[in-house]
Chains A and B, each alone.
Chain A
Amino acid sequence: DTSLAEVNSFSSSMPISPSSMINQYKFEDEPELRDLFITVDDPESHITAIETFITYRVVTKTSRGEFDSSEYEVRRRYQDFLWLKSKLEEAHPTLIIPPLPEKFIMKGMVERFSDEFIETRRKALHKFLNRIADHPTLTFNEDFKIFLTAQAWELSSHKKQGPGLLSRMGQTVRAVASSVRGGVKNRPEMFTEMNDYMETFSQKINVLDKIAHRIYKEEREYFNELKEYGPIHTLWSASEEDIADSLKGVASCIDKCCKATEKRMAGLSENLLPILHEYVLYSEILMGVLKRRDQIQGELESKVDALANKKTEKDLFSEEIGKLEDKVECANNALKADWDRWKQNMQCDMRSTFTNVAENNLHYYEECLATWESFLASQTVDLHVEEDSEDRP
């Protein structure tokens, strides 16, 4: 399968050991070493006779030699991103391809083309491309380059080429065959551990996602009630004389806390919610990657089984088996390295996201505290003034 060998950076002639691969990879974005910068922005609506769709502007700046120019600006629609993702999955079945935002939002809160939806999607698409750019292998993928640089018509014509239907069918057949066999016989311990980990992680991340949404919902309902609370004090102050100022003071404090609550909510929806959602998607992606690795191993095993039954044509078979053995080893190494990289990034993301949540809450409470303390100070000043004036004869 020549296309596979071309796109796969690990050819069978290279010495591959897990430790050497780990050393090659950068675990975090190191801006000084980056030579590819991508932004996704400027959503635009397009209306044709058949459909309405949104395109996003993708701007690429690069110093890499393989790029003809140093700057590109193209327009892409969601379909194009989907195409890119499937090409990457095809070319690198055991690498962890970053998640794409979903086609539809099932929650029903957001309308298909509302500003909120488009903005959320834009941010996710931006992240998607940048994660690919940061991936040591995927960043050099040819389809990725074409995605970033080709004009609309170039991209369409390129899409029509490629292995296409037959190769995809072949993959499906192999997948079915291996599942019919009853799975993989000699799965390395490491990958079983990964599987177990992923099952638990997937469970937990889904629960966390739900919790985060509930917190957001509760905060929003609290905000809605709080909005009404402050103004009542102002209304009351209109009937009073002596305590009018105190009442207005309380009203103003509550209103300020209300605004702080709004900020806190925004922090959640801009940070925690999208990240947890991405990792929910990641957990599905990772389960898929583990399955594909199993399938590749399954192919090898069924060929080995077939060889055991054949007396003739042994030489031919052993060559095929040799190739499959290499394929399995490549797949395993690629996955192992990418797994470690993914775990590091996940840890980093979780740490910074949850720290950010804590900071958000700290700012919220600090703001509210300052507001109430200044009100209290103003009230006790008045009391002292009153007491002083009473003491005087």
Chain B
Amino acid sequence: MEDCLAKKMEITVSEAEKRTGRNAMNMQETYTAYLIETRAVESQSEGQCAPVDSLWRRYSEFELLRNYLSVTYPHIVVPPLPEKRADFVWHKLSADNMDPDFVERRRIGLENFLLRVASHPVLCQDKIFYSFLTQEGGWKEMVNETGFQLKADSRLKALNATFRVKNPDKRFTELKHYSDELQSVISHLLRVRARVADRLYGVYKVHGNYGRVFSEWSAIEKEMGDGLQSAGHHMDVYAASIDDILEEEEHYADQLKEYLFYAEALRAVCRKHELMQYDLEMAAQDLTSKKQQCEELATGTVRTFSLKGMTSKLFGQETPEQREAKIKVLEEQIQEGEEQLKSKNLESRDFVKSAWTDIERFKEQKNHDLKEALISYAVMQISMCKKGIQVWTNAKECFSKM
């Protein structure tokens, strides 16, 4: 296991703060800034506490970092950021970006993002990433100077545009299909989970109505009074218990959300392969047609219909000198083309190889994380059941004393 940054450095996103400032259009805006704290791990073992470095970053800077990484490492499944806007909310949760609960969950998500990058064997070595963590001023300029925006293929933005790739790598086609399925099923799951949470909240809270009625009723009863009153108290406890239960479940939902967004990253890698393959095939096609043209000019046979060929037949043939010139140009182009094709082929093979390595790494990570998440979900359900048993056992005792 390579020594990744996460092993050498402790990284936390420890605080979030509301700020006001001026945006690019000089309009006042409110945003949240996050405090990134880093501390070298090694010096701790010497019994000394290493100094903590810290700097503030806002969400848009995280986005910039991620865009940079996606473009610079197209063969890597780049960890996703937590959602920009609150999605899959059930009624009690706020969809407001400034809501303290949302900000808190985002803080955790951003920390998780940094840890993911820091523990990635390739990404953790990136200088821009390191500067993001350690260099407060001038980082944005540094990123822009890399000129990564130029490398970004605008075609990638058109995610749904289809490219007719004749010989796609089967594995990538399957993977793309898988990422689509994953996205679809996780978002469906999150939607239904939110609705279930909403309804569960309703069931618990309605029991809270018992308390007051039981109390008022107990006032007119002699023997039943105590039992009613104490049972009512337990019903209040029951109703209140759902808040913590559902808050814990939100963390589970966030874990699934991360993989919802990871599916997007996976898809992006497949897209890049598609584009590469497309470029390759176009280049090969172009080369073939040029070779053909050359042959036709050299031998004088026209195998394929071309307007030029027809016009030259109609309006007189070219002179031998003209033909020679043409052939020479084509031969040069063909040579260039062959070299380009060679390097493109190499590029493509390298891409496939390194992408597939990262995909395997990702698959293992995904299986491990999701299994753990499902287990933690079961643990949450068990805890909820135990609390329920506790409350209703107490209530039963009170009722039986009525």
B207 close to A215 (CB less than 8 A): yes
Q: How far is the CA of A209 from the CA of B202 in the complex (A)?
A: 17
A368 contacts which of B195, B198, B217, B381 (Cβ < 8 Å)?
Answer: B381
A372 CB–B CB distance under 8 Å: yes
B396→A243 contact, CB < 8 A: no
Q: How far is the CA of A354 from the CA of B386 in the complex (A)?
A: 20
> Any chain B CB within 8 A of the CB of A318?
no
Asked whether A5 is an interface residue with its Cβ less than 8 Å from the other chain, the reply is no
Complex: chain A residue closest to B382, CB-CB: A372
Surface stretch bound by B, among A113-121, A164-172, A174-182, A246-254: A246-254
CB distance from B178 to the nearest CB of A (A): 6
Given contacts A354-B399, A359-B396, contact A376 B378 (CB under 8 A): yes
Give the docked Cα–Cα distance between A384 and B220 (Å). Answer: 60
Chain B residues in 8 Å Cβ range of A229: 189, 192-193, 196
- In the complex, what residues of A have CB within 8 A of residue B189's CB? 229, 232-233, 236
Residues of A within 8 Å of B400, CB to CB, are: 351, 355
Least CB distance, A24 to chain B, in whole angstroms: 22
A62 within 8 A of B: no
Interface residues of A in 353-371 (CB under 8 A from B): 354-355, 357-359, 361-362, 364-366, 368-369
Query: How many of chain B's residues have a CB under 8 angstroms from any CB in A?
Result: 51
Known contacts A218-B203, A222-B202, A347 near B378 by CB under 8 Å: no
Closest Cβ of chain B: how far from A89's Cβ, in Å?
A: 26
Q: How far is the CA of A369 from the CA of B385 in the complex (A)?
A: 6
0/1 string, B191-233, CB within 8 A of A gives 1: 0110110111011001101100100110111011001000100
- Which of B41-49, B76-84, B91-99, B369-377 forms part of the interface with chain A? B369-377
Given contacts A207-B213, A232-B189, A361-B392, contact A201 B399 (CB under 8 A): no
- Please tell me if A44 contacts chain B, counting CB pairs below 8 Å: no
Of chain A, the residue at the smallest CB distance from B177 is A239
Q: Is there contact, CB below 8 Å, between A221 and B199? A: yes
B-side contacts of A359, CB under 8 Å = 396
Interface size class of chain A, counting residues whose CB lies under 8 Å from the partner chain: 35 or more
Assess the A347–B185 pair: CB atoms within 8 A.
Answer: no
CB neighbours (8 Å) of A204 from chain B are: 213, 216-217, 220
Given the known inter-chain contacts A211-B206, A354-B402, A365-B392, please indicate yes or no for A225 contacting B192, CB distance below 8 A.
yes
CA A47 to CA B291, docked complex, whole Å: 93
Measured between beta carbons, the chain A residues less than 8 angstroms from B200 are 222
Contacts of B210 in A (CB 8 A): 208, 211
Across the interface, do B199 and A376 meet the contact criterion of CB distance under 8 Å?
Answer: no
Q: Judging by beta carbons under 8 Å apart, are B389 and A362 in contact?
A: yes
Interface residue A145 (Cβ < 8 Å from any Cβ of B)? no
Query: Does the CB pair B178–A239 fall under 8 Å?
Result: yes
8 shortest A-B CB distances, which residue pairs?
Answer: A358-B396, A369-B385, A222-B199, A365-B388, A354-B399, A242-B367, A351-B402, A204-B217
24 residue pairs A–B, Cβ–Cβ below 8 Å: A208-B213, A208-B217, A215-B207, A218-B199, A224-B199, A225-B198, A239-B182, A242-B367, A243-B370, A246-B370, A246-B371, A246-B375, A347-B221, A350-B224, A355-B399, A358-B393, A358-B395, A358-B396, A358-B399, A361-B388, A361-B395, A365-B388, A369-B386, A379-B378
